[in-house]
Structure 1
Amino acid sequence: MAEGRLFVAGTGPGKTDYTAPAALNAVRNADFVCGYMPYVEAVAEYISPEAEVFTNGMTRETERVEKALEAAQAGKKVALVCGGDASLYSLASLVYEKAADTDIIEVIPGITAALAASARLGAPVADDLAVISMSDLLTPWEVIKRRIDAVNAGDFVCAVYNPRSRKRMEQIEHALKVFSSRGDLPCGYVRNSHREGETLWVGRLSELNTEELDMSTVLIIGCKKTVIKNGRLVTPRGYTDKYGE
């Protein structure tokens, strides 16, 4: 039996222009492609006509991982397609948790939403960055609250994933109240980053309308050094302070 291989491929923020060539090659050469349906559809043109394809919906991540591992263990070349980066809030860790043979696994990194949003908004991520998801589906809210406090105490630039859903609205309000203790910080969001219907906004915490946030939005909140320049967020790295103009 041929030795199987499982590529856990992050496809980036949206358009395949921002997908790593290694990820597209993994999809192109795969005997078995699986993933959340919208992510697989995004790379459909690269899938071989001979490849078997398995897709399913949200909250069925374990099923996708098990299907991918079964195919790889059967000797197939498998591409498990993930949006953004395969490690951050994605399936790479679950693959390693479930795998009996971890030597068959290769994780291919992708551009995660925080960095994609940062590029659209200017250059807010130039120093230390914290990333927090407001989703309490897998992480208890009490834990998230402690992390919000820690990020605020450290004056980090913060990328907020999954800021608000139709059923979960109070978490982001709590986070903004905490972050506002540092002042009326510059902030911005990108909805549907690098995809059709993309929208951007830049302003200050006091101006932010949380009703415009949803699960397809990444909110970036600056630190005390962050400024708004010509409608863009910029966090100085410190070069001019150290080396002069």
Structure 2
Amino acid sequence: MINIVGIGPGSQSLMTQAAIEAIDKSEVIVGYKTYVDLIKPMLVDQEVISNGMRGEVARCTEAVKIAKTGKRVAVISSGDAGVYGMAGLIYELAETGAEINVIPGVTASTAGAALLGAPLMHDFCHISLSDLMTPIDQIMKRVKAAAETDFVICLYNPKSHGRPDYISQALSIIKEVQGSSILVGIAKNIGRLNESTHVFLIDEVNEALIDMTSVVIVGNRGTKLIGEKMVTPRGYQV
């Protein structure tokens, strides 16, 4: 059996009970080293198999191989395993009929939105700015299309050492379509030490605050500040 477990954004308080139980009952834990470190206090005597960035295929292949021996395996992903996580890859690698359960988790957009206020009250989308799997031209076409249709846009993997300028490109595209009154929220280190939030007009975003621990939520034309919180009205008559 393979349980593909979304462990949430970082803290056990934001982990679902189903995820906690799946980890507790597993004999083998498989995951990216950084994520395994986050759940180490929960582990008792489970075997741990971990590796580094870009080792996804190798560790998922190993998880499938171990599960075939009859052991209960938990493959962990941060956030929700079905949102840029390992769920799809496990299904691709496993044989048809394999016993696979996907355990949902709190993903960065919803956890970040809760800190920022209520920016996801109307239609929204997720776009990853990582070009490891998708060409950057295709990514920016999606950004433009989302802006043109007035989605609230949740930008995952917004900035790294290898692609420091993609967030600038994305925000420039959105500003060109939507104008300069659009709000941009940044949620960093969600559920971890040094958790923080920042809200800017799109012209004034401090991009130095953005890194791979951040999710960037770009409001639509209706998103506004209520106090210090981002709110996208659903359309109720108030």
TM category, shorter: over 0.9
CA RMSD in angstroms comes to 1.1
2:72 corresponds, among 77, 84, 102, to 77
Question: Aligned equivalents of 1:102 and 1:133: distance in 2?
Answer: 31
**Number of residue pairs matched by the alignment:** 236
Quick check: 1:32 aligned with 2:36?
no
Residue matched to 2:95 = 100
Question: Aligned equivalents of 1:47 and 1:212: distance in 2?
Answer: 33
2:18 corresponds, among 11, 22, 41, to 22
**1:145-186 Cα shifts (integer Å, max 9, x gaps):** 110111011100001111111221222112111111212201
Share of identical aligned residues, percent? 37
Residue matched to 1:212 = 209
Residue matched to 1:154 = 149
Question: Aligned equivalents of 1:154 and 1:141: distance in 2?
Answer: 20
Give the TM-score taking structure 2 as reference length.
Answer: 0.96
Quick check: 1:12 aligned with 2:8?
yes
Quick check: 1:45 aligned with 2:41?
yes
Write out the 4+ residue segments of structure 1 that deviate beyond 4 Å after TM superposition. none
Query: Where do 1:127-142 residues align within 5 Å?
Result: 127-142=122-137
SS at match of 2:98: helix
**1:86-106 Cα shifts (integer Å, max 9, x gaps):** 011111000001011443100
Give the superposition deviation at 1:47.
2.2
The one-letter amino acid paired with 2:17 is P
The one-letter amino acid paired with 2:105 is G
Question: Aligned equivalents of 2:44 and 2:164: distance in 1?
Answer: 42
Question: Aligned equivalents of 1:15 and 1:170: distance in 2?
Answer: 30
The one-letter amino acid paired with 1:133 is S
The one-letter amino acid paired with 2:24 is R
**1:172-224 Cα shifts (integer Å, max 9, x gaps):** 11211111121220111011111111121012101101122111111100000
Residue matched to 2:235 = 238
Question: Aligned equivalents of 1:111 and 1:130: distance in 2?
Answer: 16
Question: Aligned equivalents of 2:6 and 2:195: distance in 1?
Answer: 20
Question: Aligned equivalents of 2:191 and 2:84: distance in 1?
Answer: 19
Question: Aligned equivalents of 2:206 and 2:32: distance in 1?
Answer: 30
**1:128-156 Cα shifts (integer Å, max 9, x gaps):** 11111111111111110110111011100
Gaps of 5+ in 1: none
Give the superposition deviation at 1:54.
0.8
SS at match of 2:80: coil
Gaps of 5+ in 2: none
Give the TM-score taking structure 1 as reference length.
Answer: 0.93
Cα contact 1:29–1:48 (8 A) shared by 2? no
Query: Where do 1:149-188 residues align within 5 Å?
Result: 149-181=144-176, 182-184=178-180, 185-188=182-185
SS at match of 2:155: strand
> Which has the larger displacement, 180-189 or 121-130?
180-189
**Closer, same or farther: CA 232–102 of 1 in aligned 2, 3 Å:** farther
Question: Aligned equivalents of 2:119 and 2:11: distance in 1?
Answer: 22
> Which has the larger displacement, 141-150 or 99-108?
99-108
